[in-house]
Amino acid sequence: MSVETLNPPAPAATPAQGPARGAAVELRNVSHWYGNVVAVNDVSFSLGPGITGLLGPNGAGKSTLLHMLAGFLAPSAGEVLVDGRPAWKNPQMYRSLGLVPEREAVYPYLTGYEFALMNARLHGLPDPEGAAERAIDVVDLRAAMHRRIGGYSKGMRQRAKIAGALVHEPRILLLDEPFNGMDPGQRMHMMELLRGLAEQGKTILISSHILEELHHLANNVLVVVAGRLAASGHFREIRRLMTDRPHTFTLRSSDDRRLAAALMAHGSVQGVELGAAGITVRTAERGGFAAYLPRAAREAGITLLEVRPTDESLESVFSYLVKR
């Protein structure tokens, strides 16, 4: 796969950055395999300031990619560079990089403040207490900072983890599935926090298996499927790719046969099959069909009893992207 440089088209929040200059993170033809299982297959990209989403179904290799970026795994082939230097066997790079791992375990007997302080001390910061307090404030955890992490809610624990990763004010922040298990309120709060960090010019990479989580957050989205970079581009583009693809719907109505005939008339419909359980409709693109269906039913005086997309699983969306 060719090297693609993904830089945001300079929206207000993100400082403009030339493509080749100052890529904080770069992968060159990186592969990783566990025994004879290929987890990451010849992936290349580079990231500059702003938020990038790393999207893919579970087991696609997102965590393996993040672990290589975080210097916890050696690439089996290729190069993983952070600030132009290899991430593997290079502990000094942690001065400019922070990782929020997916695993939830945090030392439960520490308080949020103690956890941030521990991170600050291990970074050898000159004023660890001050740095820990600042990080606690950034994630808005001051009210609970002296309570043990063991008693935190999922959202609070996630914020404590972020405070630990931010305590040394790294330029690069990696977050592995940060929204897992968060309620909508916590999610909103987290998104605000991350957007604020991006405005400061940090390079942020967020992995997720849900496209909509990255909405209003990541300008760039990298789609990873089965260890390969399947697509990359602006959030809107990726969403269009995912929604404007052939879809199959199962419908039940008060008069299936007449509805089938009416649907056949529409340009977006590629095929209609009449069965005992209802109608199966194949469409070229979802948007047009979704707008047409209720109109057609109303005009024909037919009541729609059920409309069900049959292949909405993420895996089918991703496998469509890969086949393209």
d(CA 217, CA 238): 14
Among 70, 136, 182, 259, binds another protein (CB under 8 A): 70
In the complex, least distance from residue 83 CB atom to another protein, rounded to whole angstroms: 13
33 near another protein, judged by CB under 8 A: no
Strand partners, 275: 278
Q: Which of 51, 99, 116, 175 binds another protein (CB under 8 A)?
A: 99
CA distances from 213 to 85, 207, 208, 209, 310 (A): 31, 10, 7, 8, 22
Number of residues located near another protein, criterion CB under 8 A: 33
List beta partners, residue 309: 249
25 or 296: CB nearest another protein: 25
Q: Does 208 bind another protein (CB under 8 A)?
A: no
* Site map 139..168 versus another protein, x via CB under 8 A: -------------------------x----
Which of these ranges, 101-109, 180-188, 209-217, 291-299, lies near another protein under the rule CB under 8 A? 101-109
If the CB atoms of residues 121 and 195 are measured against another protein, the closer one turns out to be 121
In this structure, the number of other CB atoms found within 10 A of the CB of residue 290 comes to 16
Q: Is 237 helix (H, G, I), strand (E, B) or coil?
A: helix
Spatial separation of the C-alpha atoms in residues 202 and 172, rounded to whole Å: 6
User: Considering only residues 121, 134, 258, 266, which one is a binding residue for another protein as defined by CB under 8 A?
Assistant: 121
Contact pattern from residue 164 through residue 203 relative to another protein, giving x for each residue in contact according to CB under 8 A and a dash for the rest? x---------------------------------------
Work out the angle at residue 46's Cα, subtended by the Cα atoms of residues 44 and 47, and round it to the nearest 5 degrees: 145
Site string for another protein, 40-69 (x = CB under 8 A): -----------------------xx--x--
User: Does 73 sit near another protein (CB under 8 A)?
Assistant: yes
Beta bridge partners of 224: 229
The minimum distance between CB 87 and another protein, in angstroms, equals: 11
Nearer to another protein, 125 or 261 (CB): 125
Q: What is the rounded CA–CA span in Å between residue 53 and residue 231?
A: 12
Binders in 235-264 for another protein, by CB under 8 A: none
Residue closer to another protein (CB basis): 73 or 269: 73
Residue environment code for 244-276, b if the CB has 16+ CB neighbours within 10 A, otherwise e: ebebbbbbebeebeebbebbeebebbeebeeee
5-6 β-sheet, strand order: 5-6, 37-47, 25-34, 77-82, 85-86
Residue 103 found at the interface with another protein (CB under 8 A): yes
Residue 143 has a CB neighbour count (10 Å cut-off) of 10
106 binds another protein (CB under 8 A): yes
- Under rule CB under 8 A, residue 93 binds another protein: yes
| 95 belongs to the binding site for another protein (CB under 8 A) | yes
| Rounded-to-integer distance, Cα 156 and Cα 144, Å | 9
Residue 122 within binding range of another protein, rule CB under 8 A: yes
Helix or strand run (H / E) with residue 204: strand 203-208
Give the other-Cβ count within 10 Å of 156's Cβ: 19
Task: Using CB under 8 A, list all residues that contact another protein.
Answer: 34, 39, 63-64, 67, 70-74, 89, 91-95, 97-99, 101, 103, 105-107, 109, 118-119, 121-124, 128, 164
